[in-house]
Amino acid sequence: MQLRTIEPVKVQEETIAALYAQLGPKAAERLLLNAVEELANTLVAMEAAVAGNDLPGLNAAIGSLVPLARKVGLGALEGVAHDLRTCMKRGDDIAAQAVLARILRLGDRSLSKISNIEDMRG
């Protein structure tokens, strides 16, 4: 038996459409590009926090990831970040490691998906 480690990245297109409607094309694209950079930095911060056994740093990174993912329509990534926080609160280190690995996989693929703004503009 092999575990499937690839799950589809879903961008809530209505969130992207709302950003374009509210901000206009140029400002929405700027916001999305900034979000991609922030997401990438947050994922790196999460990895660094884990490597350094820095739980406050990991909690801070999760705290940054949740609203950022919500803002750009990455609901699955937001949900997995909540799952990680739950595992940490329960003290379930094994589950937390597995969920962190999932965040990093999903986060990397989410960055690729949201970076391709032109396909989402509709």
pLDDT > 90: percent of the chain? 74
pLDDT digits (tens, 9 = 90+) for 30-79: 999 999 999 999 999 999 999 898 999 999 999 999 999 999 999 999 99
Q: In the prediction, which pLDDT does 114 show? A: 85
Per-residue b/e over 32-65, b at no fewer than 16 CB within 10 Å?
beebbeebeebbebbbebbeeeeeeebeebbebb
CA 76 to chain centroid: 8
From the DSSP assignment, how many helices (H) and strands (E) are in the chain? 6, 0
For 116-119, the CB contacts below 8 A with 24+ separation are 117/29, 117/32, 117/33
Q: In the prediction, which pLDDT does 32 show? A: 92
Q: Where are the domains of the chain?
A: 13-119
Residue 117, pLDDT above cutoff 90: no
Instruction: For residues 75-91, give the mean pLDDT.
Output: 94
DSSP 69-104: HHHTT-HHHHHHHHHHHHHHHHT-HHHHHHHHHHHH
3-state DSSP assignment of residue 51: helix
CATH no. of 13-119: 1.20.120
Residue 122, pLDDT above cutoff 60: no
Q: In the prediction, which pLDDT does 2 show? A: 63
Q: In the prediction, which pLDDT does 5 show? A: 67
3-state DSSP assignment of residue 110: helix
Report pTM.
0.85
Residue 118, pLDDT above cutoff 60: no
